[in-house]
A = this chain, B = another copy of it.
Amino acid sequence: MPLYTTDSLKAELNEKGWRLTPQRETILKIFQNLPEGNHLSAEDLFDLLESQGEQISLSTIYRTLKLMARMGILRELELAEGHKHYEINQPYPYHHHHLICVRCNKTIEFKSDAVLKVGTKTSQKEGYHLLDCQLTIHAVCPTCQRSLLPL
């Protein structure tokens, strides 16, 4: 999971016969400059771009998010029901995991060298090329434990 620059992104795309487009470059930059702890859905990204004057179609956004996740540049997260969230995939020691309340979706990030090591070794042992390794803890936060709401 290297850190990507415009150049290294172009290089990796071209190597496979693909192309670096302004849209892809823009989207990469958005995620690179996103403060840690922020996670964007496709719509979030669309709105964020619009608010910055950039205009990228939803189709392209969906295609780019999936492409970059498949390349290991972005991580695809299941932080809420019904839609995915994305964040930049950072290497050690910035790599982190998520503790999620299944009721209110409050999310806490935490790091663990031990878990990253397990992920690295397991994929290595099986001959898999590692893209992303994420520990997801589903739980009920203190606030929601007290609430009497159903489910």
Contacts and interface: CB of A to CB of B under 8 A. Distances in A.
Given A99-B128, A115-B118, A123 B145 contact: no
B118 A151 contact: no
A118 B137 CA distance: 10
Interface string A133-151: 1111111111001000011
Interface residues of A, number: 38
A77 to B, nearest CB: 10
A137 B141 contact: no
A133 B137 contact: yes
A67 B150 CA distance: 10
Given A99-B128, A114-B114, A134-B135, 6 more contacts: A110-B122, A114-B115, A114-B118, A128-B142, A133-B135, A133-B138
5 A-B pairs with least C-beta separation:
A128-B139, A129-B140, A127-B142, A132-B138, A131-B138
